[in-house]
Structure 1
Amino acid sequence: MVFIESGEFRMGSDDHYAEEKPAHRVRVDGFFMDETPVTNAQFRAFVEATGHVTFAEIAPKRKDYPGALPDMLKAGSLVFAPPDHPVFDLRNWSQWWAFRFGANWRRPYGPGSSIRGLDEHPVVHVACADAEAYAAWAGKALPTEAEWEFAARGGLEGAEFAWGDELAPGGRQMANTWQGEFPFQNLALDGFERTSPVKSFAANGYGLYDMIGNVWEWTADWWSTRHPADAAKACCVPQNPRGGPKEASYSGAQAGARIAQRVLKGGSHLCAPNYCRRYRPAARHAEAIDTSTSHVGFRCVRREVSA
């Protein structure tokens, strides 16, 4: 883990998506953060030690999803399935996401796939409860949104990206994101079509890897549609702020169920200039806590005083 010194920064952005507004100053205490997202090898050690069964490996119960079709009540997870033709309506994500029975952290693309040779790739197909279970086993916790964003900025106050103000300075790819026309044309200029081994790209100013791209990362905060306003006085800057209340985070009905949402940070290998420009520290996204996908993982923190 890497120790992040306490500090104050401007969280959010007034220049991009509405949910990032308003930019506002906050302070965070010092904390330790995992150098990389949790890998398949690390998650395997947890499962072998505890016998943990992930959310994606458990068939949904009808009582939890009263409106679900009977043939959908099977264990599985969402897998990115790129179309082989141009897509003109990017609002309909069902054109490139497929719920595959049998997809889970061991079989990231469904039956017949495996994580052989992917030990150093981030674990995926983990729901929020799976991430929290791992963190508790490791004596850690999920980061707050403020902690995560402060760490991702790497000391670059006000910079657009975690490495500066250009997405690809001099043509150099700085993170595992999407190059080409999403979702059908992946030029893979960064060398990867899906996830990449951790540490494939340079660390940020705090020595943290993959804070941008590769996989989205769970945080401990409930989703809110926007940030609170800036404090009226400098003396009142929030210290270690938390997200909105759980009651305000619920998504629309999913098969007849209302599901609470957490904040994801960091973007993934599917973020593209023509679709999801969330490869920035300020970017944020809502994810239902009962959802697992092939592009969401996590990392942990430990809140201790530096030695």
Structure 2
Amino acid sequence: MPDPAATPTARPACCGARRPAAAAANRPPTARAARAGSAEGMITLPGGPFLMGTDEPDGFPADGEGPVREVTLSPFRLDATAVTVAAFARFVAETGFVTEAERFGWSFVFQGHLSPRFVRRVTARRQVPGAAWWVAVDGADWAHPEGPRSGVRHRQNHPATQISWHDAAAYAAWAGKRLPTEAEWEFAARGGTSQQRYPWGPTLEPRGKHRCNVFQGRFPEEDTAADGFAGPCPVDAYAPNAYGFHNLLGNVWEWCADWFCPVWHAEARDATRTDPIGPVPHDDLDRGGRPGTDGRAGVVHGGFTHRVQKGGSYLCHASYCNRYRLGARTGNTPDSGTTNSGFRCAMDA
């Protein structure tokens, strides 16, 4: 049987920039937002059964996209959009929270967003093996996504990026919310459809109309921005799906609560089919968004290194990483942030 703690073995995702070693996570702020637990800006979903995952032949089965399985969820709420720069800035201002990118002093930036002069000076030590378009840039963080000379003044309605899983979980706790499970995220993204490739149907650009922000052109050399964007776009830039959610595909990868495992969900049992919260390491029963001690959690004896991300990003391209599909998934280390990773929050209903 495959190693239950394995990471993706197929072609790496466009978000394949990962820190080589974990640091001690920030202690979550004890302060709470003045309106912590407010459902404003969230959509309530009734839950119920749906078909999760995909067995598409052009997908990435090594990521654990399949098997297609019926999963049943309890009612829940999910943010209609990804958390914005403006919202994250309020969190930082009220709590003094310091993100992991700030603590490390650097983070990953897509080379297409850096000046040619800077890129020419980049050494192999600052590039990601196998994904040289990712560059470790000193001073890159949520307020300076591409490095010290960049800023977010004119990106207030863009998704907050350079956010690690730990950062996202801290924000969610401050807001009186939590990160969504992978199953909740996919239920919301499907918008009531069954086994479609995209929320709007089987083709990426129906009738030639762009429905999400992904990479056009020659990856990674040239993004033609045929969809209007050569980088992150506003969180509500595209029409919502049938449930009212914006930009669940493309734009930025979104963190989920679950630990990443490509095989945990293959076996049909209550833990994997009813309100699944993902595998729970035996030494980490109270992480992952909810306590794992209620009998529904699949306790795996072993460590995990990655958390689930869903949705793809503006860097996904059919020639390399077509993970901008509803059933696609990837994982990244929980202390890693990039210019194409963000999040949204959930709550029990």
Normalised by the shorter chain, which TM-score bucket?
Answer: 0.7 to 0.9
| Deviation at residue 248 of structure 1 after TM alignment | 11
The reply to whether residue 17 of structure 1 matches residue 60 of structure 2 is: yes
1:183 is the counterpart of 2:224: no
Structure 2 residue runs of 5 or longer lacking an equivalent are 1-41, 117-127, 285-302
1:167: Cα distance to partner? 0.6
**Among 131, 151, 165, which residue is 1:128 paired with?**
165
Quote the residue 2:276 is aligned against.
241
Runs of 4+ in structure 1 off by over 6 angstroms are none
1:270 maps to a residue whose letter is L
Establish whether residue 78 from structure 1 lines up as the match of residue 108 from structure 2.
Answer: yes
Tell me which amino acid in the other structure corresponds to 1:141. R
Q: How many percent identity over aligned positions?
A: 43
Q: Counterpart of 1:118?
A: 155
**1:227-266 mapped onto 2 (5 Å cutoff):** 228-229=265-266, 231=268, 238-246=273-281, 260-266=305-311
Query: One-letter code of the match for 1:22?
Result: P
- Native 8 Å contact 1:247 1:260 kept in 2: no
Aligned to 1:8: 49
Partner of 1:252: none
**Whole-angstrom CA distance in 1 between matches of 2:326 and 2:282:** 26
8 A Cα contact 1:160 1:280, kept in partner: yes
Q: Give the counterpart letter for 1:226 in structure 2.
A: V
CA distance in 1, matches of 2:94, 2:162: 19
1:171 counterpart = 2:208: yes
Structure 1 residue 93, shift from structure 2 partner: 3.9
Alignment of 1:225 onto 2:266:
no
Q: 1:237 to 1:44 in 2, by over 3 A?
A: closer
Deviation, structure 1 residue 228: 2.4
Q: Residues of 1 paired with 2:172 and 2:272: CA distance?
A: 29
Deviation at residue 242 of structure 1 after TM alignment? 1.9
Aligned to 1:159: 196
Specify the alignment match of 1:295 in structure 2. 340
Query: Equivalent residue for 1:56?
Result: 101
Q: Counterpart in 2 of 1:88?
A: none
Q: Deviations over 1:107-165 (max 9, x none)?
A: 00001110011000000001111101100010000000000011110111111112111
Question: Contact (CA 8 Å) 2:43, 2:244: kept in 1 or not?
Answer: yes
Question: Which runs of no fewer than 5 residues in structure 1 stay unpaired?
Answer: 60-74, 85-90, 250-257
User: CA separation in 2, counterparts of 1:236 and 1:41?
Assistant: 37
CA deviation profile, 1:202-243 (whole Å, cap 9, x unmatched): 0011000011011000000000023523638xx998210121
Q: Is the 8 A contact 1:199 1:209 kept in 2?
A: yes
Q: Does the alignment pair 1:137 with 2:174?
A: yes
Q: 1:149 is aligned with what amino acid?
A: E
Q: Structure 2 matches for 1:34-113, cutoff 5 A?
A: 34-59=79-104, 75-82=105-112, 93-113=130-150
Q: Which moved more, 1:222-231 or 1:197-206?
A: 222-231
Corresponding residue for 2:312?
Answer: 267
Q: Which SS does the other structure have where 1:217 is aligned?
A: strand
**Do 1:25 and 1:230's aligned partners in 2 also have CA atoms closer than 8 Å?**
no
How far did residue 27 of structure 1 move?
0.5
SS at match of 1:245: strand
Q: Please point out which of 229, 235, 240 is paired with 1:203.
A: 240
Paired amino acid for 1:240: D
Letter of the 2:102 partner, please give it. E
Instruction: Count the aligned residue pairs.
Output: 274
